[in-house]
Chains A and B, each alone.
Chain A
Amino acid sequence: MLLLQNARIASENSPLLIEGDVLIVEGKIQAIGHNLATPKGARVIDARGRILMPAMFDAHVHFRAPGFENKETITTGSEAAINGGVTGVVMMPNTRPALDSATAIATVLENAKLRSRIPVYTSGCVTKNREGKELAEIEGMRELGVKMLTDDGDTTNDPAVLLRAMQYATEFGMFFASHCEVPELAGPRALNEGVMSYRLGIKGSPTCAEEIIIDRDIRLAHAAGAHVHIQHVSSKLGMETIRWWKSRGDVQVTAEVAPHHLLFTDEHIGDYDTNYKMNPPLRTQADCDALLEGLIEGVFDLIATDHAPHTPFEKAQDFMSAPNGITGLDTALVSLYHYFVEPKKFGWDVVVKRYSAEPRRLMGLPVAAIEVGQQAECLLFDTEVETTFTREFMKSKSQNTPFLDQTLKGRVDLVILGTEILLER
């Protein structure tokens, strides 16, 4: 039994916080109200001044297992999630071997049950070994609970293959997540085509490389009657493309945006800082502004980090040699607070809706609202305290993030999942 007193409660429905006590009994929210009586044996936590909100859910993470356990494991990845206030994740299938069969999926899920304190879901490949040629054994994966199909890391390049996959898998109630990039246009290195690519002497990746596939894949979904989810959108025109398709209302399309695409531009790469090397690449301020607008407006259904760990050794190479990607689970919630909620660009409702409720809805899971009768899946956030993202603080096995050694406002203090307190600071 747990009694949280005088918390300010956030929900997806209103930017306003409601003050009150919350009583959790046997992992369920039993009562919400003012001055609740303390039942015998209950632990009381004074949450005055702190925000109580549903725990986050990240629908796009790379846990690197199997195959790249030197970068991340299911254990370290899920501990990074908990550290950042996230109690559920969807893994991407670009592991080695790729998660393209029931056998591979079963192994990961079993592993997760043993080695993670939070539920870990996984997506499955669209095509065998993510090669874009032969369809993966889709139905076998569905039996194990896979809902999302994606060749993330790469686009399923042949539109005929993707269309067939959509026609086939939609029958099983599955949906497609699209990594949008024409490889022939994007080139090998993740740098936006712009002033910086000229200055740094690296052939840039134009935003049209992304926009063409966003449009293509929504058109394919339209043709197949499928649900397509557009991953990590980075450009203004990409956002506008999705907005236009959504406004037509005749295709099922959802989309996500990553915190780093809202926060950073290609200018941050500066003198070839590989912590800003990611795919899709960081674009310009105009793109950031448009993405923020799209998030507030709801063009983006959800925020997802694309948590992509790489070892310090790999990231310490020169810009051309270093791999793409940054970690995000440890830092996402605090950075969203620091850069957006605190300066009043948007309210807590946007965070809860986009980083907790909608990702769960996408995966067909119950929403972790703070309501009587619901399972307790929530966190306490202190807005008055700062977090310094030192190596020691972060639980991900890799610390390839621009936030390394940075101090931001806000701290995740307490994470509750059912009867367990997963984290307490």
Chain B
Amino acid sequence: MARKDLLDIASLRREEIEFLLDQSTSFKKLFTHSVKKIPALEGKSVLMLFYEASTRTHSSFEVAAKRLSAEVTNFDVAHSSITKGESVRETIETLQAMRTDYIVVRHAHPGLPGMIARQTTASVINAGDGAHEHPTQALLDAFTIKEKFPDPRGKKVLIIGDILHSRVARSTSTLLQKLGVEVAYLGPGSLVPKYVPASIRRFTDYEAAMAWAPDVVYLLRVQLERQDVQFFPSVREYHRVYGITTTRLAEIRDRGLYIMHPGPVNRGVELCDAVMDYERSLITNQVENGISIRMAVLDWLTPGGEFPRQESYVAPQRASATVGRP
């Protein structure tokens, strides 16, 4: 069952998911001990390659790696302007020379972690690639939900917000569906892709979505920094139509629904301030579970294998061996 890389949720098998969630449970128990460190990755190196800033995911991986006794290095890309693909290739060659064991990578370009994985012997973990995937987020979300619903089959999760730009929506919905959870999307028409998988319900109206009787309301972060194009008229209007307002929170409380959010929260946009004190908000649980899930993932992956052929600038791996059709 060993794998070299964790690039996406789509290719994870059910038993692999179950295994990771179980492992996460064991690691989480460790947090209650006075000594939180175990020597699982002693002598191994983890390289953090974050082309996009993310304090939350970055520090979560760092804590997870350190608790496994790994050595953590940060590759300083945030301050350089090298974010284009061709420079990434040069970076990959450097990384391969460094013989690091694990690479945790975040990049704005979808598919880029996979490209790195094909060219290094290190285990590559996708910590978010554009609007494509964010597998550890999905795993921690599933773990958080399973803590409340040990058998999540048939439960319903309503994901609200910017689906178009969200890797969280894609990864988490894929994973939850693999666990038998029903998923629905709700968001501004300009931020929900026209083609979502048929297995995901799509609501255009908050009231209708509530009538579907979700168990969890999962709010996505509105990426205000991505609003180079205006997708909705104003933040105020967004909050009123798609946010959890004080009135809506009262209804959610009455129904006993859980609230989740991948963070960081834009207060007053996705959620009103009062949600922070809501007893069924799982937002801090998600942060906490992020560490044990990432420990489970690091512990599970197996770096190594053949040193890739050093043929410089070969075309990327073909998806299928033969040209299909007709």
- Chain A contacts for B193, CB-based, 8 A: 193, 197-198, 204
* B322 shortest CB reach to chain A, Å: 7
| Interface residue? B221 (CB, 8 A) | no
Q: Give the interface centre of B10, B84, B195, B323 by most chain A CB atoms within 10 Å.
A: B323
Write out, one digit per residue, whether chain A residues 381-425 have a CB within 8 A of any chain B CB (1) or not (0): 000000000000000000010111010000000000000000000
Closest 9 CB pairs of A and B: A270-B319, A321-B85, A317-B85, A201-B132, A272-B111, A201-B131, A320-B109, A201-B110, A318-B112
- Contact yes or no, A343 B88, CB < 8 A: no
- Contact yes or no, A402 B323, CB < 8 A: yes
Which one of A271, A402, A404 lies within 8 Å of B317 (CB-CB)?
A: A271
Which one of B112, B132, B196, B313 lies within 8 Å of A312 (CB-CB)?
A: B313
Residues of A37-84 contacting chain B, CB below 8 A: none
Q: Please give me the residue from chain B that is nearest to A196 by CB atom.
A: B195
- Chain B contacts for A273, CB-based, 8 A: 316-319
Write out, one digit per residue, whether chain A residues 275-315 have a CB within 8 A of any chain B CB (1) or not (0): 10000000001001000000000000000000000001111
- Contact yes or no, B88 A318, CB < 8 A: yes
Q: Please give me the residue from chain B that is nearest to A289 by CB atom.
A: B326
* B159 shortest CB reach to chain A, Å: 14
Write out, one digit per residue, whether chain B residues 158-185 have a CB within 8 A of any chain A CB (1) or not (0): 0000001001001000000000000000
- Contact yes or no, B196 A318, CB < 8 A: no
Taken together as a complex, chains A and B put the C-alpha atoms of A203 and B132 apart, in Å, by 10
Taking A314-B86, A316-B313, A400-B315 as known contacts, 11 extra A-B pairs with beta carbons closer than 8 A to each other, sorted by chain A number, are A197-B193, A198-B197, A201-B170, A204-B193, A272-B114, A272-B316, A316-B316, A317-B86, A318-B111, A321-B85, A403-B323
- Contact yes or no, A200 B110, CB < 8 A: yes
* A164 shortest CB reach to chain B, Å: 30
Residues of B256-294 contacting chain A, CB below 8 A: none
Write out, one digit per residue, whether chain B residues 91-106 have a CB within 8 A of any chain A CB (1) or not (0): 0000000000000000
Which one of B112, B167, B195, B314 lies within 8 Å of A194 (CB-CB)?
A: B195
Taken together as a complex, chains A and B put the C-alpha atoms of A193 and B196 apart, in Å, by 11
- Range, interface on chain A: 35 or more
| Interface residue? B320 (CB, 8 A) | yes
Kindly specify which of A16-24, A261-269, A346-354 makes contact with the partner chain. Answer: A261-269
Taken together as a complex, chains A and B put the C-alpha atoms of A270 and B314 apart, in Å, by 18
Q: Please give me the residue from chain A that is nearest to B200 by CB atom.
A: A198
- Chain B contacts for A275, CB-based, 8 A: 315, 318
| Interface residue? B89 (CB, 8 A) | yes
Which one of A197, A264, A317 lies within 8 Å of B89 (CB-CB)?
A: A317
| Interface residue? A322 (CB, 8 A) | yes
| Interface residue? A319 (CB, 8 A) | yes
Taken together as a complex, chains A and B put the C-alpha atoms of A339 and B108 apart, in Å, by 38
Which one of B88, B89, B319, B323 lies within 8 Å of A271 (CB-CB)?
A: B319
Taken together as a complex, chains A and B put the C-alpha atoms of A112 and B65 apart, in Å, by 61
Taken together as a complex, chains A and B put the C-alpha atoms of A320 and B167 apart, in Å, by 16
- Chain A contacts for B108, CB-based, 8 A: 320
13 contacts between A and B (CB under 8 A): A193-B195, A198-B170, A202-B132, A204-B195, A268-B320, A273-B317, A316-B316, A318-B110, A321-B88, A321-B109, A339-B325, A402-B323, A406-B322
Taken together as a complex, chains A and B put the C-alpha atoms of A406 and B115 apart, in Å, by 22
- Chain A contacts for B114, CB-based, 8 A: 271-272
Which one of A197, A268, A339, A402 lies within 8 Å of B195 (CB-CB)?
A: A197
| Interface residue? A5 (CB, 8 A) | no
Taken together as a complex, chains A and B put the C-alpha atoms of A321 and B88 apart, in Å, by 10
Q: Please give me the residue from chain A that is nearest to B229 by CB atom.
A: A184
Taken together as a complex, chains A and B put the C-alpha atoms of A264 and B318 apart, in Å, by 14
* A409 shortest CB reach to chain B, Å: 12
